[in-house]
Chains A and B, each alone.
Chain A
Amino acid sequence: MNTRAASGLERGDRRFGLMLTAPGLAVLFLVIIFPLLFALITSFFDYTLINPNHDTFVGLDNYQEVLDEEYILTSLWVTLKFVLASVMIEFAIGFSVALALNSVTRFKNFYYLILLAPLLINPVVVGLLWRMILHTELGIANYAISLMNIDPVNWLGNANAAFWTVVMVDIWHQFSFMAILLLAGLASLPREPYEAARVDGASSFSCFIHITLPLMRPVIIVALLLRFVFAIKTFDIVFIMTKGGPGTATDIISYFIYRAAFFGLDIGRASAMSIALLLIVLALTIYLYRYMTSLR
């Protein structure tokens, strides 16, 4: 075998590959790395919308200001609760639905359509829709439960209820993403292990525990991580439905940052918050990924 020729060929391949990816990488740089760097730099400057320039370097002042914000810890806590609640429940529902659909053979497309419908709706529309449904006095939700002789619920006016209402709406809107992803994973599983297990007399339950779950692990990790990252960025539903209220019950961090930028006009402070959040999310993601891949 001629190694020289092989390496020449390899080099050619590599150059060709680089040529193919260069435009993509350039775009990636422009739309991801550049804004990220811009935010990082801006977070060290007194950059406001009134005076948008990088004239005044303030070091870590913006970060100090963020720590001094009166309700920032509440907001982080609300965000954490929201992410955990919505992602976990979405996973439970999504996995059950995926398992159910995986064994269905008739009307599969019909079920897919129903399942995907909420996901196709713009989140702003979802928020407005549910605000109407949940109107305490005129909404259909309270009317429906009054027919069952249940007292009307103050969906968005009571702090505790409002939090779970927002979680519920988010689940309604997003769980099908989880279901579809897991369903794709289930469909790609090999048939042989199941047949072998059946021959050995394993029950459906033990098939699920000992075959489905281990084989599905990579898909589950990806689905959970993706939803986890998306859930932290939730904005529209809160913005439309509650504006972070009542009180601070649904004041998730993305809306907090939005307020600093577009109501407080302070892009420097908002950038500092975004960068800090990015670091937290990155650390959490790495930790979660390691933790989940280490599970045996």
Chain B
Amino acid sequence: MKRLLAVIISIIFLSSPVKAETIRLLMETVPDTKYIQELLPEFEKQTGIKVEMEVISYNDMHAKLIPQLLSAKGSYDGIVVDFYWVGEFIKAGWLMPLDDLVQRDKFNTSVYVPKLTDLVGKVDGVQYMLPFYNYSMAVIYRKDLLEDPKEQAAFKAKYGIDLKVPTDWDEYWKQVEFFTRDTDNDGKKDLYGTVIQGQRGDCVSMQWANFLYGMGGRFQDKDWNPTINSDAGIKAMEAYREAVVKFSPPGSESFCFDEAANVMAQGKAYSLQTFNIMFAGFDDPESSKVVGKVGITSNPGGGLNGGWGWAIPNSSQNKEAVWKFYQWVESYEIAKKRALLGGAPTQTRIFTDPDVIAKRPYYPILGEILAGSQDFPVFTYTTELVEKMGLEFNLAATGEKEPKAALDAANAAYRKLLIKDGKISE
């Protein structure tokens, strides 16, 4: 018994502070996390600081973060923040302003794409985060089909316009209709013009935003008056429902982005509106049957702008060491290495770097996609809005509710949350 006690006590003592400096980060299971893990040994060798990453899926992150952020001494020294959470985290006062550190160490924040600084960098002029990677949404399409002379002739004959990379919504939607077909004449569609990710909640909300932008609609006007149920919104919802019924595989009312991407990767779809970070996967022979056959372009009217930022929570116990890590991971050298591995850049200089372009020729297009992207509502209750809208959008996508009724309900829910947040008055 005594011996056991001695062992336990020595374990407790050995495992606490004495060893080298260690920082703990909570990260999401995405490719960009993996690229950093590959480069981590360099940082540890340079600084002697050990980086422990807890990598979990998106679904669990928010619920896992909150208790740590609420406590005075959290177990995460550094965190990554999805743009959804920015309003909430700032309002709750969980994030530490970085301005003093930025000035002291002359960290250059002007290298970031302004769209991302606005989204996951500064809030009301205060630097709370450093943009980590961007996942703005884009249209991924089948280059081989688009460039096929036979298809081009048939498309021209049918619609009277050329078949080319689409630049406006009508043109894109004609292509979606055109490529939805039964290629082997067995009475069943086997090529779909697009793949909808209509699952209730986050999945449908994010994708539908691209439809709204495509029709020229916005979630709110400049004074925060919600405009989801505008004419553009209703047109967008009608198109969304049309896609579910006609142009997308059955069951897509329940798909999220991964299921939708799998349909595309199996060569069963002409196009897909998805996150730009998914693109590299279609050129990977292990997960795709359409290697070399896909291209990427902007969503007509702009796609949804999305991104993650590095932040230091006030509950962090090792702020200096984490800041050192951020300076390293966001340095030109490391940002470039991450991009060469396939990471989604946030700094203008990476999009235009000759070495990066030589290895990944489509990166300038990613830069254009980001520059033309549209913002999603960011305020204290974004996560709740996404759920409330996501239910109504899904009801419209499945045909249980008329587009107008669903959008009216979504608009009313949005208005209520904006009032609660003090953005507008009743």
Q: For chain A residues 150-170, which have a beta carbon within 8 Å of chain B?
A: 152, 154-159, 162
Interface size class of B (residues with CB under 8 A): 35 or more
Chain B residue at minimum C-beta to C-beta distance from A239 = B59
Shortest Cβ distance from residue B376 to the other chain A in the assembled complex, whole angstroms: 15
Q: Is the CB of A137 within 8 A of B384?
A: no
Stretch binding the partner chain, chosen from B123-131, B212-220, B251-259, B366-374: B251-259
Q: Is the CB of A137 within 8 A of B249?
A: yes
User: What number of residue pairs across chains A and B have CB atoms under 8 A from each other?
Assistant: 107
Q: Inside 8 A of B201's CB, which chain A residues have their CB?
A: 243-245
Q: Inside 8 A of B419's CB, which chain A residues have their CB?
A: none
A106-121 Cβ-contact flags toward B at 8 Å (1 or 0): 0000000000000000
A136 interface residue per 8 A CB criterion: yes
Q: For chain A residues 48-94, which have a beta carbon within 8 Å of chain B?
A: 49-52, 71
- With A245-B199, A246-B253 given, is the CB distance from A135 to B66 under 8 Å? no
Q: Is the CB of A247 within 8 A of B250?
A: no
Stretch binding the partner chain, chosen from B145-153, B261-269, B302-310, B340-348: B261-269
Q: Inside 8 A of B380's CB, which chain A residues have their CB?
A: 50
Stretch binding the partner chain, chosen from B1-9, B18-26, B391-399: B391-399
Chain B residue at minimum C-beta to C-beta distance from A136 = B251
Q: Is the CB of B66 within 8 A of A49?
A: yes
Chain B residue at minimum C-beta to C-beta distance from A241 = B254
- With A137-B263, A157-B254, A245-B254 given, is the CB distance from A263 to B391 under 8 Å? no
Q: Inside 8 A of B251's CB, which chain A residues have their CB?
A: 135-137, 154-157
Shortest Cβ distance from residue B59 to the other chain A in the assembled complex, whole angstroms: 7
Q: Is the CB of A244 within 8 A of B66?
A: no
Chain B residue at minimum C-beta to C-beta distance from A240 = B59
A135 and B197 alpha carbons, distance in the complex (Å): 12
Q: Is the CB of B400 within 8 A of A152?
A: no
Q: Inside 8 A of A248's CB, which chain B residues have their CB?
A: 391, 395
Q: Inside 8 A of A156's CB, which chain B residues have their CB?
A: 251, 254
A158 and B397 alpha carbons, distance in the complex (Å): 11
Q: Is the CB of A157 within 8 A of B253?
A: yes
Q: Is the CB of A154 within 8 A of B250?
A: yes
Q: Is the CB of B259 within 8 A of A131?
A: yes
Chain B residue at minimum C-beta to C-beta distance from A267 = B66
Q: Is the CB of A263 within 8 A of B383?
A: yes
Q: Inside 8 A of B209's CB, which chain A residues have their CB?
A: none
| B88, B198, B262, B398 — most chain A CB neighbours (10 Å) | B398
Q: Is the CB of B266 within 8 A of A246?
A: no
A7 and B343 alpha carbons, distance in the complex (Å): 77
A198 interface residue per 8 A CB criterion: no
B290 interface residue per 8 A CB criterion: no
Q: Which residue in B249, B381, B386, B394 is a CB contact (below 8 Å) of A136? A: B249
B30 interface residue per 8 A CB criterion: no
A16 interface residue per 8 A CB criterion: no
Chain B residue at minimum C-beta to C-beta distance from A258 = B63
A214 interface residue per 8 A CB criterion: no
Q: Is the CB of A50 within 8 A of B88?
A: yes
B91 interface residue per 8 A CB criterion: yes
Report which B residues bind A (CB closer than 8 A). Answer: 59, 62-63, 66, 70, 88, 91-92, 198-203, 249-254, 259, 262-263, 266, 268, 380-381, 383-384, 386-387, 390-391, 394-395, 397-398, 400-401
The 8 closest A-B pairs by CB, nearest first: A136-B251, A245-B200, A156-B254, A157-B253, A157-B251, A157-B254, A137-B249, A243-B201
Report which A residues bind B (CB closer than 8 A). Answer: 49-52, 71, 131, 135-138, 152, 154-159, 162, 239-240, 242-248, 259, 262-265
Subset of 12 A-B contacts with CB under 8 Å:
A49-B70, A138-B263, A154-B254, A157-B254, A245-B254, A247-B394, A248-B395, A259-B384, A262-B62, A262-B383, A263-B62, A264-B381
Task: List 14 additional A-B contacts (Cβ < 8 Å) besides A135-B251, A263-B384.
Answer: A49-B66, A50-B91, A137-B249, A137-B251, A156-B251, A156-B254, A159-B398, A244-B200, A245-B200, A246-B200, A246-B254, A262-B63, A263-B62, A263-B386
